[in-house]
Amino acid sequence: MTQAISFPTNRKIIHVDMDAFYASVEQMDFPELKGKPVAVGGSEARGVVSAASYEARKFGVRSAISGVLAKKYCPEIIFVRPRFDRYKEISKKVQAIFYDYTDLVEPLSLDEAYLDVTQNKKGNPSATLIAKEIRERIFNEVGLTASAGISVNKFVAKIASDFNKPNGQKTVNPDEVLGFLEALPIRKFYGVGKVTTEKMYQLGIFTGLDLKKKELDFLEKHFGKSGAFYYNVVRGIHNSEVKSERVAKSVATEHTFDENLSSEIFMEEKLQVIAEQLERRLLKQNLAGKTVTLKIKYSDFSLQTRSKTLPYFIANKSLLFETVKELLYQERMKNSVRLLGISVTNLNTDVKKTVVVQLKFDF
């Protein structure tokens, strides 16, 4: 049975998610692609799909699968090169609409964001109507469709935005949250990936209600620190605020190569170029970091990372390259390499905590 509500119900959070964003931009800009299965990124020979149109998704084409597999699933697939400058341009137009309603906007990526509309610039007490108006404006002013989830916290809003895709929205009112989460298949819980889903299945956890029946000690035993997160969110408890300015946690640059690399000497040349690009990104954002990570994706698509933490902050390309070169030779390569990347974490960012006073309104 659904328990009495014991979580904050005074917030109004909207999660807006653009529908198949990259692919939809391509179909908008090139009308001949409308109604056709489109994959952004990848190719028949190699590469990874960045996004797929809904026409392609019907065949099982998804982001992060190889172009070869996409072609196998959908022989009629049309591959297009990504145009990130264009996607950023469209994203800025969409975000400008968000800011007409609230300054509490937290972009997660180019195509999705959280909005806290508890107190909003329109003085509209209905988060549901605000979401509807935002989606209509995106369609009329930008030419694309978006979906939205509306609820009392970011976790539930994020899940809800996926329910009526594409071009739809779902509101989970305060008195519906617990029942909504209890009935939800565990695989649809945001933050529960394939591996965790399988582990939960083995433990007899198939729905939110199954998860809710497990004690905190049990969840921490099997899932470590994530156990407390699962214990709370299934009870509707997720107090993370919408942060209007997200603090960068990492800066990274990576390259996928046209031909696999089998020699560390060739990899060194590529890593020098990547280090130079990463330096430019760090300096542009006035950032530096202590932890340098080398990302290696092999020809069989297996992934490996090697990291080193230094006693000082670095952003210089020479220091980045010397550190990553050491990581490169840390152990022998197990296969030829299709992708190399460098990321910097443990950054010199100051995280400032803000106090947000929440007022209670009718949902």
CATH number of 21-82: 3.40.1170.60
CATH 3.30.70.270 fits 13-20+85-177, yes or no: yes
Q: Classify domain 179-233 by CATH number.
A: 1.10.150.20
The residue count of the chain comes to 363
What sign has the CA pseudo-torsion 27, 143, 113, 288?
positive
The pLDDT profile of the chain, 363 residues, written as one tens digit per residue, is 444 446 667 899 999 999 999 999 999 999 999 999 999 998 877 788 999 999 999 999 998 899 999 999 999 999 999 999 999 999 999 999 999 999 999 999 999 999 999 999 999 999 999 999 999 999 999 999 999 999 999 999 999 999 999 999 999 999 999 999 999 999 999 888 889 999 999 999 999 999 999 999 999 999 998 999 999 999 999 988 998 865 678 899 999 888 899 999 999 999 999 999 999 989 988 899 999 999 999 988 888 999 999 999 999 999 999 999 999 999 888 889 999 999 999 999 754 333 333 333 345
* DSSP notation for 34-51: TTS-EEES--SSS-B--E
Which of 55, 106, 112, 279 is labelled catalytic?
112
Residue 258: DSSP 8-state: E
- Two structure tokens written together for 47: 């590469």
CA distance 348 to 351: 10
Q: E strands of the chain, at which residues? A: 13-18, 38-40, 51-52, 78-80, 105-109, 112-116, 146-151, 169-171, 250-261, 289-298, 303-314, 337-347
For residue 343, which amino acid is it?
S
Q: What string of DSSP letters covers 205-246?
A: --BHHHHHTS-HHHHHHHHTTHHHHHHHHTTT---PPPPSSP
φ, ψ of residue 45 to 5 degrees: the values are: -90, -40
Q: Are 339 and 295 in contact (CB under 8 A)?
A: yes
Q: Known catalytic residue: 112? A: yes
Sequence-distant (≥ 6) Cβ neighbours of residue 176 within 8 angstroms:
none
Q: Where do the structural domains in the chain lie, given as residue ranges?
A: 13-20+85-177, 21-82, 179-233, 250-347
pTM of the predicted model as reported, rounded to 2 decimal places: 0.71
At the fourth CATH level, which superfamily is domain 250-347? Answer: DNA polymerase, Y-family, little finger domain (3.30.1490.100)
